[in-house]
Amino acid sequence: MTFDLKTALKFIILFLIGIGVLYLAFWGQDLEKIWLEIKTANYLWVIISVIAVLIAHVLRALRWQMLYQSIHYNVSFWHAYHAVMIGYLANLALPRFGEIGRCSVIHKAEKVPMFASIGTVITERLFDVVMLFVTTLVMLSFQYDIVADFLYQTIYLNLAKKLNTVNYWWLISFSVVIFLFIAIAIYFLRQKFNKKFLRIFVNLRQGFGSYSKLKQKGLFLTYTLGIWFFYLLSMYFAFSSIQATAGLHFNAAFTAIVFSGFAMAAPVQGGIGVFHWMVARSLVLYGISFNDGLAYSTIIHSSQVLLILVLGSLSLFFILTKKEPK
Protein backbone atom coordinates (compact mmCIF):
# COMPACT_ATOMS: atom_id res chain seq x y z
CA MET A 1 0.00 0.00 0.00
CA THR A 2 1.53 3.30 -1.11
CA PHE A 3 1.12 6.07 1.43
CA ASP A 4 0.92 9.35 -0.49
CA LEU A 5 -0.90 12.66 -0.07
CA LYS A 6 -4.08 11.26 -1.66
CA THR A 7 -4.09 8.29 0.73
CA ALA A 8 -3.39 10.54 3.71
CA LEU A 9 -6.30 12.82 2.77
CA LYS A 10 -8.58 9.80 2.41
CA PHE A 11 -7.83 8.58 5.92
CA ILE A 12 -8.04 12.08 7.40
CA ILE A 13 -11.50 12.46 5.84
CA LEU A 14 -12.59 9.07 7.20
CA PHE A 15 -11.28 10.02 10.63
CA LEU A 16 -13.15 13.32 10.53
CA ILE A 17 -16.32 11.47 9.53
CA GLY A 18 -15.87 9.25 12.59
CA ILE A 19 -15.38 12.28 14.81
CA GLY A 20 -18.45 13.87 13.20
CA VAL A 21 -20.61 10.82 13.95
CA LEU A 22 -19.24 10.79 17.50
CA TYR A 23 -20.14 14.47 17.89
CA LEU A 24 -23.65 13.88 16.55
CA ALA A 25 -24.08 10.90 18.87
CA PHE A 26 -23.23 12.99 21.95
CA TRP A 27 -24.87 16.20 20.71
CA GLY A 28 -27.79 17.23 22.91
CA GLN A 29 -27.02 14.57 25.53
CA ASP A 30 -26.36 15.17 29.21
CA LEU A 31 -22.56 15.04 29.07
CA GLU A 32 -22.17 15.58 32.81
CA LYS A 33 -24.34 12.55 33.56
CA ILE A 34 -22.46 10.44 31.01
CA TRP A 35 -19.12 11.45 32.51
CA LEU A 36 -20.39 10.72 36.03
CA GLU A 37 -21.44 7.22 34.98
CA ILE A 38 -18.07 6.58 33.34
CA LYS A 39 -16.20 7.96 36.35
CA THR A 40 -18.15 5.88 38.88
CA ALA A 41 -18.22 2.66 36.82
CA ASN A 42 -17.25 -0.66 38.40
CA TYR A 43 -13.96 -1.22 36.61
CA LEU A 44 -13.59 -4.78 37.89
CA TRP A 45 -16.28 -5.75 35.36
CA VAL A 46 -14.54 -3.66 32.70
CA ILE A 47 -11.33 -5.62 33.32
CA ILE A 48 -13.22 -8.93 33.09
CA SER A 49 -14.78 -7.69 29.85
CA VAL A 50 -11.33 -6.82 28.47
CA ILE A 51 -10.00 -10.27 29.42
CA ALA A 52 -12.83 -11.83 27.38
CA VAL A 53 -11.79 -9.71 24.37
CA LEU A 54 -8.15 -10.73 24.85
CA ILE A 55 -9.16 -14.40 24.78
CA ALA A 56 -10.99 -13.71 21.50
CA HIS A 57 -7.78 -12.18 20.08
CA VAL A 58 -5.81 -15.27 21.16
CA LEU A 59 -8.36 -17.54 19.47
CA ARG A 60 -8.07 -15.42 16.32
CA ALA A 61 -4.29 -15.94 16.32
CA LEU A 62 -4.73 -19.71 16.80
CA ARG A 63 -7.30 -19.83 13.98
CA TRP A 64 -5.01 -17.91 11.64
CA GLN A 65 -2.06 -20.14 12.56
CA MET A 66 -4.12 -23.16 11.46
CA LEU A 67 -4.57 -21.69 7.98
CA TYR A 68 -0.82 -21.23 7.61
CA GLN A 69 -0.12 -24.77 8.77
CA SER A 70 -2.57 -26.14 6.20
CA ILE A 71 -0.47 -24.66 3.39
CA HIS A 72 2.79 -25.84 4.99
CA TYR A 73 4.03 -22.63 6.62
CA ASN A 74 5.03 -23.37 10.20
CA VAL A 75 4.11 -19.97 11.64
CA SER A 76 4.51 -19.85 15.42
CA PHE A 77 1.60 -18.91 17.66
CA TRP A 78 3.44 -15.90 19.09
CA HIS A 79 4.21 -14.46 15.68
CA ALA A 80 0.56 -14.92 14.66
CA TYR A 81 -0.57 -13.29 17.93
CA HIS A 82 1.83 -10.33 17.59
CA ALA A 83 0.73 -9.86 13.97
CA VAL A 84 -2.95 -9.82 14.99
CA MET A 85 -2.35 -7.23 17.71
CA ILE A 86 -0.22 -5.06 15.42
CA GLY A 87 -2.98 -5.31 12.83
CA TYR A 88 -5.53 -4.00 15.32
CA LEU A 89 -3.11 -1.24 16.29
CA ALA A 90 -2.69 -0.23 12.64
CA ASN A 91 -6.47 -0.15 12.17
CA LEU A 92 -6.71 2.52 14.87
CA ALA A 93 -4.67 4.81 12.64
CA LEU A 94 -5.62 3.67 9.15
CA PRO A 95 -8.83 1.68 8.56
CA ARG A 96 -8.30 -1.66 6.76
CA PHE A 97 -4.52 -1.13 6.89
CA GLY A 98 -4.27 -3.69 9.70
CA GLU A 99 -4.84 -6.63 7.33
CA ILE A 100 -1.82 -5.60 5.24
CA GLY A 101 0.14 -4.79 8.40
CA ARG A 102 -0.32 -8.20 9.96
CA CYS A 103 0.72 -9.91 6.70
CA SER A 104 3.85 -7.74 6.66
CA VAL A 105 4.66 -8.87 10.20
CA ILE A 106 4.44 -12.55 9.22
CA HIS A 107 6.54 -11.86 6.13
CA LYS A 108 9.20 -10.20 8.28
CA ALA A 109 9.15 -12.81 11.05
CA GLU A 110 8.55 -16.02 9.09
CA LYS A 111 9.36 -15.11 5.45
CA VAL A 112 5.90 -16.16 4.28
CA PRO A 113 5.03 -14.62 0.86
CA MET A 114 2.84 -11.55 1.30
CA PHE A 115 0.11 -12.65 -1.09
CA ALA A 116 -0.16 -16.08 0.50
CA SER A 117 -0.77 -14.28 3.81
CA ILE A 118 -3.29 -11.95 2.21
CA GLY A 119 -5.15 -15.00 0.90
CA THR A 120 -5.37 -16.48 4.41
CA VAL A 121 -6.57 -13.16 5.86
CA ILE A 122 -9.31 -12.85 3.23
CA THR A 123 -10.35 -16.44 3.96
CA GLU A 124 -10.47 -15.69 7.68
CA ARG A 125 -12.47 -12.50 7.14
CA LEU A 126 -15.00 -14.35 4.98
CA PHE A 127 -15.77 -16.58 7.95
CA ASP A 128 -16.27 -13.49 10.11
CA VAL A 129 -18.69 -12.08 7.53
CA VAL A 130 -20.59 -15.38 7.56
CA MET A 131 -20.72 -15.28 11.37
CA LEU A 132 -22.05 -11.72 11.31
CA PHE A 133 -24.70 -12.81 8.80
CA VAL A 134 -25.65 -15.85 10.92
CA THR A 135 -25.84 -13.86 14.18
CA THR A 136 -28.00 -11.28 12.41
CA LEU A 137 -30.40 -14.01 11.27
CA VAL A 138 -30.50 -15.46 14.80
CA MET A 139 -31.22 -12.00 16.23
CA LEU A 140 -34.04 -11.48 13.72
CA SER A 141 -35.46 -14.94 14.38
CA PHE A 142 -35.63 -14.67 18.16
CA GLN A 143 -35.97 -10.91 18.70
CA TYR A 144 -37.81 -9.70 15.63
CA ASP A 145 -40.49 -7.97 17.70
CA ILE A 146 -37.80 -5.91 19.46
CA VAL A 147 -35.62 -4.91 16.51
CA ALA A 148 -38.20 -4.80 13.69
CA ASP A 149 -39.34 -1.22 14.26
CA PHE A 150 -35.77 0.10 14.49
CA LEU A 151 -34.74 -1.74 11.31
CA TYR A 152 -37.79 -0.43 9.45
CA GLN A 153 -37.68 3.19 10.63
CA THR A 154 -33.93 3.75 10.79
CA ILE A 155 -32.49 1.36 8.22
CA TYR A 156 -35.12 0.42 5.62
CA LEU A 157 -36.81 3.83 5.15
CA ASN A 158 -33.49 5.70 4.96
CA LEU A 159 -32.04 3.11 2.58
CA ALA A 160 -35.15 3.16 0.40
CA LYS A 161 -35.02 6.95 0.28
CA LYS A 162 -31.40 6.91 -0.85
CA LEU A 163 -32.01 4.15 -3.42
CA ASN A 164 -34.82 6.19 -4.96
CA THR A 165 -32.35 8.98 -5.72
CA VAL A 166 -29.87 6.66 -7.47
CA ASN A 167 -29.47 6.95 -11.23
CA TYR A 168 -29.20 3.26 -12.10
CA TRP A 169 -28.15 3.79 -15.72
CA TRP A 170 -25.27 5.93 -14.54
CA LEU A 171 -24.38 3.34 -11.89
CA ILE A 172 -24.44 0.46 -14.40
CA SER A 173 -22.37 2.43 -16.91
CA PHE A 174 -19.85 3.37 -14.24
CA SER A 175 -19.60 -0.28 -13.07
CA VAL A 176 -19.00 -1.47 -16.65
CA VAL A 177 -16.25 1.12 -17.16
CA ILE A 178 -14.56 0.14 -13.88
CA PHE A 179 -14.78 -3.56 -14.77
CA LEU A 180 -13.25 -2.95 -18.20
CA PHE A 181 -10.52 -0.78 -16.69
CA ILE A 182 -9.60 -3.51 -14.18
CA ALA A 183 -9.64 -6.20 -16.89
CA ILE A 184 -7.39 -4.11 -19.18
CA ALA A 185 -5.05 -3.25 -16.28
CA ILE A 186 -4.72 -6.92 -15.35
CA TYR A 187 -4.04 -7.83 -19.00
CA PHE A 188 -1.23 -5.27 -19.38
CA LEU A 189 0.23 -6.11 -15.98
CA ARG A 190 0.35 -9.75 -16.97
CA GLN A 191 2.13 -8.83 -20.19
CA LYS A 192 4.69 -6.66 -18.44
CA PHE A 193 5.19 -8.63 -15.26
CA ASN A 194 4.17 -12.07 -16.42
CA LYS A 195 6.33 -14.13 -14.05
CA LYS A 196 5.75 -11.85 -11.08
CA PHE A 197 2.00 -11.73 -11.77
CA LEU A 198 1.90 -15.52 -11.99
CA ARG A 199 3.76 -15.79 -8.67
CA ILE A 200 1.26 -13.41 -7.05
CA PHE A 201 -1.66 -15.40 -8.44
CA VAL A 202 -0.18 -18.69 -7.22
CA ASN A 203 0.43 -17.27 -3.72
CA LEU A 204 -3.08 -15.81 -3.51
CA ARG A 205 -4.62 -19.08 -4.64
CA GLN A 206 -2.53 -20.89 -2.05
CA GLY A 207 -3.88 -18.60 0.68
CA PHE A 208 -7.46 -18.88 -0.56
CA GLY A 209 -7.20 -22.67 -0.53
CA SER A 210 -5.93 -22.80 3.05
CA TYR A 211 -9.31 -23.70 4.59
CA SER A 212 -10.02 -26.50 2.11
CA LYS A 213 -6.68 -28.09 3.04
CA LEU A 214 -7.33 -28.01 6.79
CA LYS A 215 -7.28 -31.41 8.46
CA GLN A 216 -9.15 -30.12 11.53
CA LYS A 217 -11.97 -28.04 10.09
CA GLY A 218 -14.04 -28.68 13.23
CA LEU A 219 -11.38 -27.04 15.40
CA PHE A 220 -11.21 -24.07 13.02
CA LEU A 221 -14.97 -23.59 13.25
CA THR A 222 -14.78 -23.99 17.05
CA TYR A 223 -12.23 -21.17 17.19
CA THR A 224 -14.53 -19.06 14.99
CA LEU A 225 -17.51 -19.64 17.29
CA GLY A 226 -15.26 -19.04 20.30
CA ILE A 227 -14.14 -15.64 18.99
CA TRP A 228 -17.72 -14.46 18.69
CA PHE A 229 -18.74 -16.07 22.00
CA PHE A 230 -16.06 -14.18 23.90
CA TYR A 231 -17.03 -10.94 22.14
CA LEU A 232 -20.54 -11.65 23.41
CA LEU A 233 -19.24 -12.29 26.93
CA SER A 234 -17.29 -9.04 26.77
CA MET A 235 -20.48 -7.10 26.00
CA TYR A 236 -22.39 -8.95 28.70
CA PHE A 237 -19.77 -8.53 31.45
CA ALA A 238 -19.50 -4.80 30.70
CA PHE A 239 -23.23 -4.39 31.43
CA SER A 240 -22.42 -4.77 35.14
CA SER A 241 -19.95 -1.88 35.03
CA ILE A 242 -22.69 0.78 35.29
CA GLN A 243 -25.97 0.69 37.18
CA ALA A 244 -28.13 1.65 34.18
CA THR A 245 -27.22 -1.50 32.19
CA ALA A 246 -26.58 -3.91 35.09
CA GLY A 247 -29.97 -5.62 34.67
CA LEU A 248 -29.59 -6.45 30.98
CA HIS A 249 -29.38 -10.08 29.86
CA PHE A 250 -27.66 -12.04 27.08
CA ASN A 251 -30.31 -11.13 24.52
CA ALA A 252 -29.32 -7.46 24.80
CA ALA A 253 -25.64 -8.37 24.55
CA PHE A 254 -26.38 -10.48 21.47
CA THR A 255 -28.12 -7.58 19.74
CA ALA A 256 -25.31 -5.21 20.75
CA ILE A 257 -22.76 -7.60 19.21
CA VAL A 258 -24.64 -7.64 15.91
CA PHE A 259 -24.97 -3.85 15.85
CA SER A 260 -21.31 -3.38 16.82
CA GLY A 261 -20.27 -5.86 14.12
CA PHE A 262 -21.83 -3.67 11.44
CA ALA A 263 -20.34 -0.59 13.11
CA MET A 264 -16.82 -2.03 13.01
CA ALA A 265 -17.28 -2.88 9.33
CA ALA A 266 -17.49 0.85 8.59
CA PRO A 267 -14.24 2.22 7.08
CA VAL A 268 -13.55 4.47 10.06
CA GLN A 269 -10.54 4.21 12.38
CA GLY A 270 -11.41 1.84 15.24
CA GLY A 271 -15.14 2.28 14.54
CA ILE A 272 -14.98 5.60 16.41
CA GLY A 273 -18.36 7.33 16.53
CA VAL A 274 -20.19 4.66 14.54
CA PHE A 275 -19.59 2.06 17.28
CA HIS A 276 -20.83 4.42 19.99
CA TRP A 277 -23.99 5.32 18.09
CA MET A 278 -24.87 1.77 17.02
CA VAL A 279 -24.31 0.15 20.43
CA ALA A 280 -26.21 2.92 22.22
CA ARG A 281 -29.10 2.51 19.75
CA SER A 282 -29.14 -1.25 20.30
CA LEU A 283 -29.55 -0.76 24.05
CA VAL A 284 -32.41 1.72 23.57
CA LEU A 285 -34.39 -1.27 22.25
CA TYR A 286 -34.17 -2.78 25.75
CA GLY A 287 -35.37 0.27 27.65
CA ILE A 288 -31.98 1.90 28.24
CA SER A 289 -31.81 5.62 27.58
CA PHE A 290 -29.58 6.72 24.71
CA ASN A 291 -27.64 8.76 27.27
CA ASP A 292 -26.85 5.65 29.34
CA GLY A 293 -26.15 3.67 26.18
CA LEU A 294 -23.50 6.19 25.19
CA ALA A 295 -21.86 5.89 28.62
CA TYR A 296 -21.77 2.10 28.23
CA SER A 297 -20.47 2.17 24.65
CA THR A 298 -17.80 4.71 25.60
CA ILE A 299 -16.58 2.48 28.44
CA ILE A 300 -16.40 -0.72 26.38
CA HIS A 301 -14.91 0.97 23.29
CA SER A 302 -12.29 2.89 25.29
CA SER A 303 -11.27 -0.22 27.26
CA GLN A 304 -10.79 -2.23 24.06
CA VAL A 305 -8.83 0.57 22.40
CA LEU A 306 -6.60 0.82 25.48
CA LEU A 307 -6.00 -2.94 25.34
CA ILE A 308 -4.95 -2.67 21.70
CA LEU A 309 -2.73 0.36 22.36
CA VAL A 310 -0.87 -1.42 25.17
CA LEU A 311 -0.59 -4.95 23.78
CA GLY A 312 -0.27 -3.79 20.16
CA SER A 313 2.62 -1.50 21.08
CA LEU A 314 4.33 -4.32 23.00
CA SER A 315 3.90 -6.64 20.01
CA LEU A 316 5.27 -3.99 17.67
CA PHE A 317 8.30 -3.50 19.92
CA PHE A 318 8.91 -7.26 19.99
CA ILE A 319 8.73 -7.61 16.20
CA LEU A 320 10.87 -4.53 15.48
CA THR A 321 13.61 -5.67 17.87
CA LYS A 322 13.52 -9.30 16.76
CA LYS A 323 16.30 -10.48 14.48
CA GLU A 324 15.06 -11.55 11.08
CA PRO A 325 15.53 -15.23 10.17
CA LYS A 326 18.30 -15.89 7.65
Q: What percent of the chain has pLDDT over 70?
A: 72
- Mean pLDDT of the region 73-87: 92
- Mean pLDDT of the region 154-167: 60
Provide the pLDDT for residue 1.
Answer: 43
Provide the pLDDT for residue 168.
Answer: 63
The span from the first CA to the last CA of the chain, in angstroms, equals: 25
Q: Which of 6-10, 174-178, 227-231, 283-287 has the lowest mean pLDDT?
A: 6-10
Flag whether pLDDT at 2 surpasses 50. Answer: no
- Model confidence at 14, in pLDDT bands (50, 70, 90)? low
Q: Which letter, b or e, does each residue of 136-152 get, where b requires 16 or more Cβ atoms within 10 Å of its Cβ?
A: beebeeebeebbeebee
**Cβ–Cβ contacts within 10 Å for residue 38, how many?**
16
Contact 288, 244 (CB under 8 A): yes
Contact 107, 121 (CB under 8 A): no
Q: What percent of the chain has pLDDT over 90?
A: 27
Provide the pLDDT for residue 3.
Answer: 46
- Mean pLDDT of the region 134-163: 73
- Model confidence at 60, in pLDDT bands (50, 70, 90)? very high
* Angle made by CA atoms 201, 206, 212, in degrees to the nearest 5: 140
- Model confidence at 17, in pLDDT bands (50, 70, 90)? low
- Mean pLDDT of the region 285-298: 89
Provide the pLDDT for residue 199.
Answer: 61
Flag whether pLDDT at 163 surpasses 70. Answer: no
Flag whether pLDDT at 129 surpasses 60. Answer: yes
- Highest average pLDDT, of 52-66, 142-156, 186-200, 210-224, comes from 52-66
Report the predicted TM-score, pTM, of the whole model to 2 decimal places.
Answer: 0.78
- Mean pLDDT of the region 194-203: 58
Provide the pLDDT for residue 274.
Answer: 81
